[in-house]
Chains A and B, each alone.
Chain A
Amino acid sequence: MLSSFELLEPTTVQEAAGLLERYGDEARVYAGGAELILLMRYGLVDATYLVNVKTISGLGGLVAGEDALRVGSIVTHRALELDAAVRKGWPLLAAAESHVGNIRVRSQGTLGGNLCFADPHADPPTALLVYEASVTIEGSGGSSWLPLSEFLRGTYETALQPAELLVEIEVPRLPSGWTAAFARTERFYRPTANAAVAIDLRAGAIAGARLAVGCVGPTAMRLPQLESELAGLTPAEAGRRVMDARAYLSRQLDPVDDLLGSAEYKSYIAGVLLARAIGQAAGTEGANGHG
């Protein structure tokens, strides 16, 4: 049994922000509840009031524009996984979404809830960092816009201030001609580690690369130094380079031991997944899939 609480159903973001201010620590934002209901059941979160953001109009948009995809915070993983425009224009995001938990979690959970919870063992952030996504957050003082890399601060920690909501996620397209792949390994549903890669392959050599690794450190991270080292390499050479970069990866990613693996294993597997994703993005290795 869940302990009792009361439900608040605002219809605008400003009303929700006002409710969060009024009820302070006693209130929690409730989106899909896929995470929150479990936290409340296990006594990890104690909330007297739940503010249902699904009753706010305008948070459920999913618009594929010329330059960017705009995702309202309450769009579910399942909607993103299945949307034809997302699969075509943002395949890395669709792939990451298709790996989340199981089909029931994907139907219940939202992208906004995933990002706001900031569980290090998450899939969408890794893909979103490669697209250089940004987020819009809003409170009673107005709205602000910041890169996802600044929104994700640490383990279960974001840039959200009390009484602020995540409103929208903006996902630019990759530059034209780039190819991308997502690789993941899991135990017990949640990813042990994942990697997202996009490359610009010209005449067999890498002209540009974006690499991100998730679940290894406190947040998903881009790897700028390694990205620049891949310039001019063939995909096979690039695969070997990332595998050899274990010392850099463990410095950069700040891995921690947890139930899903030791820190040492995680920096090793990060290299393996990056190499695999580079191969897939270059079309030299089989289709996207589970590790």
Chain B
Amino acid sequence: MAEPRAIVTLDCTVNGERWHGEVPVEEVLLDFLRARLGLTGAKRSCESEVCGACTVLVDGQPMSSCSFLAFEVHGKQVTTIEGLTCEGRLDPLQEAFMRNVASQCGYCTPGQILAAKALLAANPSPTYEEVGEWLSGNLCRCGCYPSIAESILEVARAQSAS
């Protein structure tokens, strides 16, 4: 019969780099990323899977890192906002968010951009309604929704044109 474990080994890839070590089973992915790896892009806010400030991608899917146990990413790829920059160049979504001023305080922005990244991977040409539906779990308390949606649609248009 299985024996109880308080600490487990974790082998995963974070932003393309392998991480191998041990974690307490109760450590949530958000603490693993922020405290252990120093990746502070994912933010803590509601801690209830509601707001999306803590959104990261696990094998490409948006997850609430505030309430997802770190050991669950064993053998998986985790992407945080820090991992979108490629050789010092921002992701087109990051560029579009800046161009459209799709943030005010910026607290929700990493989560919005990662959710958008997963959306465009699943659906390269979303409608405005599909953007709204997909991002309904990413709240922006500053109310930047119109420019967030416009930034995403702009990138979708540019990518389908090229």
Task: Report if B121 contacts A (CB, 8 A).
Answer: no
Is the Cβ of B26 less than 8 Å from the Cβ of A2? yes
A41 and B67 CA atoms in complex are apart in Å by: 9
CA distance A96 to B93 in the complex (A): 31
Contact of A38 among B8, B26, B49, B69 (CB under 8 A): B49
* Distance A41 CA – B69 CA, assembled complex (angstroms): 12
Q: Decide if A22 touches B61 in the complex (CB within 8 Å).
A: no
- The residue that B68 contacts in the complex, of A10, A11, A49, A108, with Cβ under 8 A, is A108
A227 interface residue (CB < 8 Å to B): no
Given A7-B5, A34-B67, the answer on whether A102 and B26 have CB atoms closer than 8 Å is no
Report the interface size for chain B: residues with CB under 8 A from the other chain.
31
Min CB–CB distance A155 → chain B (angstroms) = 20
Interface contact A189-B50, CB-CB below 8 Å: yes
B49–A10 CB distance below 8 A: no
The one of B1, B61, B68, B137 in contact with A19, judged by C-beta atoms closer than 8 angstroms, is B1
What are 30 contact pairs spanning A and B, CB under 8 A? A1-B31, A3-B26, A4-B26, A6-B6, A7-B4, A7-B5, A7-B6, A8-B4, A8-B5, A9-B5, A10-B1, A10-B2, A11-B2, A15-B1, A18-B1, A33-B69, A34-B49, A37-B69, A38-B48, A38-B67, A41-B47, A41-B67, A49-B4, A102-B138, A103-B62, A104-B55, A104-B62, A108-B49, A108-B64, A189-B50
Q: Report the tally of A-B residue pairs with Cβ distances under 8 A.
A: 88
Within residues 19 to 68 of chain B, which ones have a CB less than 8 A from any CB in chain A?
24-26, 28, 31, 47-50, 52, 55, 61-64, 67-68
Residues on B with beta carbons closer than 8 Å to the beta carbon of A37: 28, 67-69
Query: Chain B residues with Cβ under 8 A from A18's Cβ?
Result: 1
- Asked if B134 is an interface residue, CB under 8 A from chain A, the answer is yes
Q: Give chain B's interface residues, CB within 8 Å of chain A.
A: 1-6, 8, 24-26, 28, 31, 47-50, 52, 55, 61-64, 67-69, 71, 115, 134, 136-138
A188 to chain B, nearest CB (A): 8
- Kindly state the separation between the CA atoms of A139 and B23 in the bound complex, as whole angstroms: 31
